[in-house]
Amino acid sequence: MKKTVLTLAISAIVFGATTQVNAAGFQLAESSATGLGRAYAGEAAIADNASTQARNPAMLAYLEGRQLSTGGIYVMPDVDVLGDVSVTSPLLGSDAVVMNADEIDVADNALVPNFYYSNQLNDHWTWGLAVNANYGLATETDKTSAAAIFGSHTAITTVEFNPNIAYRIDDEFTVGAGLRMVYGEGEVSATTPAWIGAISANPNVPASISARLPSAGTELKSMEGDDIGYGWKAGASWQINTSNRIGLAYHSGVDLDLDGTVSGVVYDGGQDIKIDGYLPIELPAFAELASYHQLTENWAMHASINWTEWSTFERLVAYFPGEVKPTGDIESDIVKEENFKDSWRYAIGTTYTVNDQWTLRAGFALDKTAVDDEHRTTTIPDTDRFWFSMGTGYQVSENLSVDLGVTYIRMHGDAPISESQDLLGLATIDFNGEATGDVWLTGVQLSYKM
């Protein structure tokens, strides 16, 4: 049964939050630990193991027999949102009340697992199954923190089930396609900061207004729920010659309709009532153009250009079709303006085969932000990122291999944040600050030829 509550902090629920400094917006890039070691450079043109179908289903045609690949990447973000909250109200005089709103280490560590299977049916046809995540992670701040009104808790989990099929046309060309089935669940909330008590106790604030102010930690708007959406993907590859290959892949957007009920004093006025609502969301389409170049017997270079259609993520609007409406008898509510733009990622990597057992990998990437400075928010403080990656592969036996990867991601450039929120029509709350931080990723991938 779906259980959904639509929220103020919904910008964090669209499968990402302040943890998302490892890819633009709230997108995850961690499809396998094998690719992690080269910063995912050339992924749509490389077929190391069954995980290749996560990026380009056409690359399944390069895999022989039946293969399994499974692993996980542990994400360790260190993200701080630093700034001040100011409260402006005629009840408090002409000057704004300013207080520190620094939040340290707001993003939780998380494991991103994966599982892949491929089966070569004959010289032309190969099918596979991919289970991984493209969006996710979580944030948590104290319910009474100075900026809690902008969002205090987010926990998001997504899983993509992805059957794929590939066809080898000839020695040069392969094509592939797959079905995207995305399951997502999450919970988010925005609460009343501790400073609300000081405003309520201010002698200049009339008693009738103080009585309307919720106590610190009160739920303003919140959500928990799940949904399933569907999409598709397609890809192709061109083996130019024995040493050079190009891959191209496209993943469609996925529409989600989160339907359920809204809660929190902003919507229900503190009454024990059920208000039906729904929130339409489109997870963005993305594409990759990749190349692979075998320069010598032992040394290869590879590169990727990735595009994500974040421009579809303009605003989040909740709708209330039921007979019982939120406070003010409203039909809809603009939950948050985001105004994202399409983003680009550029990666270059290298692979060196030491001997029959050991392989070394390295890579670098520039991940461009999906947000202009004027539209960055506390819930998705996206910014440009640099990736520095290295990894290794070890052939344990003829059929079993192990890949290890480590990546350090550093924010590049400034990430100013400026947000404004209305407090029950009594005051204007402004946040001004910046996001800072970095991320460590480490992963292991086990691959077996059956």
Strands annotated E in 169-298 = 173-191, 219-241, 244-251, 254-262, 275-283, 286-294
Output the CA torsion sign for 92, 94, 99, 103.
positive
Task: Please tell me the distance from the alpha carbon of residue 241 to that of residue 244, in angstroms, as a whole number.
Answer: 5
Q: Compute mean pLDDT per 10 residues along the chain, 450 residues long, and list them.
A: 35 34 55 94 97 97 97 89 86 81 82 94 97 72 82 76 97 97 79 84 80 84 81 98 98 86 83 82 91 97 95 81 87 77 94 97 92 65 86 97 96 77 79 85 96
- Tracing tokens 């209305």 back to the chain, one arrives at 422
pLDDT score at 18:
34
Q: Considering the entire predicted model, what is its pTM?
A: 0.86
Three-state secondary structure string covering 163-188: EEEEEECCCCEEEEEEEEEEEEEEEE
**Rounded distance, CA 64 to CA 119, Å?**
8
- How many degrees, rounded to 5, is the angle at CA 32 between CA 30 and CA 38? 85
Predicted local distance difference test score (pLDDT) of residue 260:
79
What size, in residues, is the chain?
450
Report which of 115, 231, 122, 247 is spatially closest to residue 176, judged by C-alpha positions: 247
pLDDT of residue 189: 79
Burial class for 425, CB neighbours closer than 10 Å (0-12, 13-18, 19+): exposed
Q: What is the structure's pLDDT at 24?
A: 46
Quickly count: other Cβ atoms within 10 Å of residue 76's Cβ: 13
Q: How far apart are CA 25 and CA 371, in angstroms?
A: 8
Residue 110, helix vs strand vs coil: strand
Instruction: Name the residue with tokens 């633009």.
Output: 24
